[in-house]
Amino acid sequence: MSQNPIIRWERDDDGIVVLTIDDPNQRVNTMNAEFVDALEAALDRIETERDTVAGVVVTSGKDTFFAGGDLNDLRDATKDRIDEFAEFVDRNSALLRRLETIGRPVVAAVNGSALGGGLELALAAHHRVALDGPRNYVGLPEVTLGLLPGAGGVVRSVRMLGVERALSELLLQGQRRTVRSALELGIIDELVESKSELIVVSKKWILAHPEPVQPWDVKGYRIPGGAPGDRSEPLHSKLPAIPALLRKQSKGAHYPAPKNIVSAAVESAQVDFDNALRIEARYFLDLATGQVAKNMIQAFFFDMQSVNGARGRSADRTPWRASKAVVLGAGMMGAGIAYECARAGIDVVLKDVSVEAAERGKGYSHKLIDKQIAAGRTSSDKGDALLARITPTDRPEAAEGADLVIEAVFEDPAVKAQVLAEIEPYLAEGALIGSNTSTLPITGLAENVSRPEDFIGLHFFSPVDRMPLLEIIKGNKSSPDTLSRALDLAKQISKTPIVVNDSRGFFTSRVIGTFINEALALLGEGVPAATIEQASSQAGYPAPVLQLTDELNLELLRRVRDAAQRAAEEGGQTWVGHPAEVVLDRMLSEYGRAGRLAGAGFYEYDGNRKRTRLWTGLPDAFGGENTDLPFGDVVERLLFAEVIETVKCLDEGVLEAIPDANVGSILGIGFPGWTGGVLQFIDGYEGGVAGFVARAQYLAETYSERFTPPESLLQLAESGTTLARSRSAELVGTP
């Protein structure tokens, strides 16, 4: 047995070589330069010692098989270095091609997850054996980072599954499949129950198949479903619908990866294998050197890694875990929080003013479980066990001994104070006390409990079972231990946390308010409602802005506005009104249209509150004939309103770290993912910070001073650096 820093080589008595990938410098194996060098050396040795090699098993010395490309390398790829990067991509692709044509059977023994480059490596083997397990995934998720597979993933998956299935079931959505699901799809060939079987089964296959060849290397091989241009195959009639489907899914937003994936799949299916790889590489390089991929890699990998990390806490600390939670308020938010806690194995007391109301709240979990059982995602036994952990009640003493309370009642400080005072005597000593408020300052709410140091804001997003974000708000007296426990809770209930400091509206509610206000201001200026909706869709927001406003409810928005105005005036500040207020007040007071719950808002609704069309009275109410504004200006007014407000949050100390802003904006308030988040949008803007500042000044001069860039950005533009480099990347944690 000989050693290599990255790939260990071991040959048995049958001549089968096991190549174990185990990069000593990384937690997971990645397709970096060191791996490529090691793979080339291993292939050289196989060819040199061909007469003594009966076959090859490729496996991993880590819990994960292979994690894919090194995202640090991909983030640094630029168009002015494209030749250098292309050389690396071509070399990597050529090595995998060499592996599958080396003249000996090759088996991928997939001992954990194989995502991205990991699956590409496995697809280059002649046979794939995977360790079964619900947490072992395979897939090609590159599209979620603004990329496409660049080491043969498109070419091989198309030849295995056909153009249509490869696109829909693997490439365009970037699905992560369990290995069992991958077996059904056909990209995994065998499953084993234990690691000890993995190599044994792999070697057995090699001995039974001494001279394998990839199907696509057999003369006359036809791609399943046919190649583009073959009128006799089913693909011919389906192919024209694919671009239309892409346009429908993207709504015109700036996501180039799906287009490149379709182009690579269709074009590569019409040529020989080696030219197919060249086509794939060309489309990959176009994305990898573009700004969108850099934005998405920053947000969805590096920033996500940061917010989910230790955040300044000791890595060897024992995480705190809640065992019994009390959720105060069984409305939609409280019911969703109760479900999430119960799903995490926490016993939950769901309290409301009456048992009937609490039972209705538990009914929300019943409905979710019933849907999961019907879809085959859970069993009746598991569903019953989850429901058994939720106890609906109207009795505060049912909270006896709880180590966690989450208040989720009406946004009224007096109501919140009442329910917390009622429950606090029954809590365990030092229990974590959280308030699910979206706007009310946490420091003020903390005055209503006897232990303000244990009090913290826990802002969930609706619907709680589907929204992944948890905004944690530190009050002035929240202790470091309380923050640490809140972060532990987020992990326990599988939420992505961001941490912000206290202020009215915190970060997410404050910033999304500027988005809605800008849309209402545009409407008040006579811009057609349909144009505003189309602009927000093409910007990349998940829901058109007026539709979102109806869902949030105009009455709630007015209450939040009025509360903010009172607080400002009581604090001796002059309230500066926004043009949106006129539209909001007229919609409610003059037209009685409060949104979807009221059955009438910016949209019309049928008897079941199903949205039908934009309210036909909007042109009479607000004009709708102002078509002079350039469409790009409408789009950027929506985006810039949120970005500039976020910079103010950063300047004021509401935000302490850029990753919190980027992740929170995408996961919590739907800021377009292609931008990389509200602050990455500035660094990724054409011309960088200086380009953003110039555009903001144009918007301020043309439309409103609210687009005036903050002084901090003006200084940054002069310095020539990026926002990310100018601020510490260390996240809020505990001292």
At residue 490, does pLDDT exceed 50? yes
How far apart CA 680 and CA 299 sit, in angstroms, is 8
pLDDT digits (tens, 9 = 90+) for 259-273: 999 999 999 999 999
| Residue 728, pLDDT score | 57
Domain ranges of the chain: 7-210+224-289, 324-501, 508-726
**Structure tokens belonging to residue 381:** 């036994």
Crossing angle (nearest 10°) for helices 273-288 and 256-268: 170
DSSP 600: B
- Tell me, which fold does domain 324-501 have in CATH? Rossmann fold (3.40.50)
Find out whether 355 and 392 touch, Cβ atoms under 8 Å. yes
459 is catalytic: yes
How far apart CA 26 and CA 29 sit, in angstroms, is 7
* Run of H or E including 405: strand 404-407
Residue 190, beta-bridge partner list? 129
Mean pLDDT of 646-665: 96
- Tell me, which fold does domain 7-210+224-289 have in CATH? 2-enoyl-CoA Hydratase; Chain A, domain 1 (3.90.226)
**Three-class secondary structure of residue 142 per DSSP:** helix
Pairing between β-strand 114-115 and β-strand 137-139 as defined by DSSP bridges: parallel
As to burial, measured by CB atoms within 10 angstroms (0-12 exposed, 13-18 middle, 19+ buried), residue 653 is: exposed
Question: At residue 406, what are phi and psi to the nearest 5 degrees?
Answer: -125, 115
The per-residue DSSP string of 155-182 comes to HHHHHHH-HHHHIIIIISS--EEEHHHH
The per-residue DSSP string of 100-146 comes to HTSSS-EEEEE-S-EETHHHHHHHTSSEEEEE--TT-EEE-GGGGGT
| Residue 4, pLDDT score | 65
Side chain identity at residue 73, one-letter code: D
At residue 735, does pLDDT exceed 50? no
How far apart CA 636 and CA 710 sit, in angstroms, is 17
Side chain identity at residue 581, one-letter code: E
Sign of the alpha-carbon torsion through 349, 353, 356, 360: negative
Cis (ω within 30 of 0) for the bond into 463? Answer: yes
At residue 206, does pLDDT exceed 90? yes
Average pLDDT, the chain: 94
Mean pLDDT of 514-525: 97
> Predicted confidence band at 81 (pLDDT cuts at 50, 70, 90)?
confident
At residue 670, does pLDDT exceed 60? yes
Find out whether 309 and 730 touch, Cβ atoms under 8 Å. no
| Residue 729, pLDDT score | 44
Distance in Å from the first CA to the final CA of the chain: 48
Pairing between β-strand 404-407 and β-strand 324-328 as defined by DSSP bridges: parallel
Crossing angle (nearest 10°) for helices 631-652 and 711-719: 100
For residue 112, give every residue at least 6 positions away whose Cβ sits within 8 Å of its Cβ, in sequence order, or none. 60, 62, 63, 64, 65, 131, 136
| Residue 3, pLDDT score | 58
Side chain identity at residue 729, one-letter code: A
| The total number of residues written for the chain in this structure | 735
How far apart CA 680 and CA 671 sit, in angstroms, is 11
How far apart CA 683 and CA 688 sit, in angstroms, is 5
At residue 2, does pLDDT exceed 80? no
pLDDT digits (tens, 9 = 90+) for 534-567: 999 999 999 999 999 999 999 999 999 998 899 8
> Predicted confidence band at 1 (pLDDT cuts at 50, 70, 90)?
very low
CATH number of 508-726: 1.10.1040.50
3-state helix, strand, coil in the chain (%, to 5): 55, 10, 35
| The Cα angle at residue 265 between residues 80 and 171, in degrees rounded to 5 | 90
Q: Which of 66-70, 224-228, 232-236, 471-475 has the highest mean pLDDT?
A: 471-475
| Residue 239, pLDDT score | 80
Find out whether 468 and 490 touch, Cβ atoms under 8 Å. no
Find out whether 186 and 160 touch, Cβ atoms under 8 Å. yes
> Predicted confidence band at 367 (pLDDT cuts at 50, 70, 90)?
very high
The pTM score is 0.93
> Predicted confidence band at 731 (pLDDT cuts at 50, 70, 90)?
low
How far apart CA 115 and CA 524 sit, in angstroms, is 48
pLDDT digits (tens, 9 = 90+) for 138-196: 999 999 999 999 999 999 999 999 999 999 999 999 999 999 999 999 999 999 999 98
Q: Which residue's entry shows tokens 């996500």? A: 304
* Residue 723: closest CA among 664, 665, 695, 683: 683
Mean pLDDT of 307-325: 93
Mean pLDDT of 94-110: 97
* Residue 12: closest CA among 142, 193, 199, 161: 199
Catalytic residue among 236, 254, 366, 459: 459
Find out whether 671 and 642 touch, Cβ atoms under 8 Å. yes
| Residue 369, pLDDT score | 97
Mean pLDDT of 355-374: 96
pLDDT digits (tens, 9 = 90+) for 36-61: 999 999 999 999 999 999 999 999 99
Question: At residue 454, what are phi and psi to the nearest 5 degrees?
Answer: -95, 5
Sign of the alpha-carbon torsion through 385, 389, 390, 394: positive
| The Cα angle at residue 232 between residues 230 and 238, in degrees rounded to 5 | 75
